[in-house]
Amino acid sequence: MQAEIITVGTEILLGQILNTNVKFLSEQLASLGINLYFNTTVGDNKDRLKQALAIASDRADLVILTGGLGPTADDLTKESLAEFLQLPLVVVPEELNKIKSLYHKTGHKWAENNIKQCAFIPNSYILTNKVGSAPGMALKFENTAFVVLPGPPKEMTCMFLNYAVPWIKNTFNCEVSDMLYSKILKFTGIGEPSLEVLLADLFEVQTEITLALYAKTGEIQLRITTRAENKEDFERKISPVLTEIKKRTIPYLFGENEIIFTEAVAQLLLQKNLKISTAESCTGGMLAQYFTSIPGSSGFFLGSVVSYANNIKEQVLGVSSDLLEKHGAVSREVGSAMAERIRVLTGSDLGIGVTGIAGPSGGTQQKPVGLVYIALATPDKTICNECHFNGDREMIRLRSVDKALYLTWKYLKNILD
């Protein structure tokens, strides 16, 4: 069974609003076991919408439209669908009374153009709008089913879950069977091409179980997807490939599904009953912000010093003035000293020091923009990595934080080089 989503609204094409409806509907269709191969966005134009409907109905069993159900002249979705199917729109008195009653309750002035919200294709199933005023509509015409939903996300979500889903299940009977399940594995410290090479043979033989890679800032995601009767059946089906992937990616795999990397680091710190603190220069406290965004961070994070100026590095942290004069603030020696001093000052088990040049100015030929030293001081030793990051100021700062988290994670996992 195949579906297509058509989102209606010129404001989406202009980038004035984010199309969150597609994300929600895509996830819901997957959970129903319905394949979604295409989604289309069309402006408030009847001819172009009818063109989109012609294409969609030719290649999909189910076409879901969102948006364009309001009372104004540019709300054309139902009219366009009716013209495309060569069917009339008829005002349903019960729905007209409902909307008039709603306007009376809310104190809004009634306008005659609201009547168009109460017009439906004969014999269609009316989808109740519990959140807003415009009802939706569902019908099957020849070989294609059409579901028409409002554009506002809260209205669309409520209507789809409560009314559209039961109608879809009833209309297609047993055709909506096995559901589509996915598991997301998350990796860090490795690029997308390298991870693909590591798992190349698994990508080549995929059939029922599919694998897909996605690159995000600071991490790579691998989605494992297949159809199954239920969650337990899904876990059983993917178990062999999941085991093989984990075996090959131990140095990079940090978690599954919704977990973020900072949470993975925090969990390890809590499991090992270790405390950490940070001394930051170019990141300006961003790493501390990441740590403290985790609920319960007081269980592992002791504090931070944002030692942006040299006199703060010297007077607050206690970094030697000789080191600063001899090697400069952006150096392996000062980065290491920052990590060691914050560990001593706070009494933490681990200390992180970050110093670098985030730009856009301040770089030299010897020390260019993007040069960052990230150090981790432990009870036994201090490790300091020299990093060279590309990007603008914010990207360099973000990548510095990601690298500091990765260095900490590797230490906690006992996989330091």
Domains in the chain (CATH in brackets) are 2-175 (3.40.980.10), 179-256 (3.30.70.2860), 261-412 (3.90.950.20)
Q: What is the mean pLDDT of residues 37-63?
A: 97
Determine the average pLDDT of the residues in 229-245.
94
pLDDT higher than threshold 70 for residue 81: yes
Tell me the one-letter amino acid at 347: G
Confidence class for position 174, pLDDT limits 50, 70, 90:
very low
267-290: per-residue pLDDT in tens? Answer: 999 999 999 999 999 999 999 999
Residue 226 tokens, joined: 């297949």
pLDDT above 70 for 177: no
Token pair, residue 213, equals 């890679």
Region 69-76 average pLDDT? 91
Give the pLDDT confidence score for residue 347 in this predicted structure: 98
**Distance, CA of 331 to CA of 337 (rounded, Å):** 10
Is 417's pLDDT higher than 70? Answer: no
Q: Which of 224-233, 273-282, 297-306 has the lowest mean pLDDT?
A: 224-233
Residue 404 pLDDT > 90: yes
For 109, which DSSP code? P
C-alpha to C-alpha distance for 401 and 411, rounded to whole angstroms? 16
Residue with tokens 């059409």: 146
Residue 212 pLDDT > 50: yes
**pLDDT tier at 32 (50, 70, 90 boundaries)?**
confident
Q: Are 327 and 334 in contact (CB under 8 A)?
A: yes
Q: State residue 216's pLDDT score.
A: 85
pTM over 0.95: no
Q: What is the pLDDT of residues 309-348, one digit of tens each?
A: 999 999 999 999 999 999 999 999 999 999 999 999 999 9
DSSP E strands: which ranges in 275-370? Answer: 276-280, 301-306, 350-356
Stronger pLDDT, 416 or 243, i.e. the higher one: 243
pLDDT bracket for residue 179 (50, 70, 90)? confident
Q: For residue 310, which of 326, 327, 328 has the smallest C-alpha distance?
A: 328
What is the predicted pLDDT for the residue at 320?
96
Q: What does the alpha-carbon distance between residue 158 and residue 304 come to, in Å, rounded to a whole number?
A: 45
Residue 247 Cα to chain centre, angstroms: 26
| Closest by CA position to 57, among listed 144, 187, 158 | 144
pLDDT band at 129 (very low <50, low <70, confident <90, very high): very high
What is the pLDDT at residue 196?
94
Mean pLDDT of the chain: 94
Please check whether residue 22 is in contact with residue 39, taking contact to mean a CB–CB distance below 8 angstroms.
yes
The arithmetic mean of pLDDT across residues 213-218, rounded, is: 87
Sign of the Cα torsion 10, 12, 13, 16 reads positive
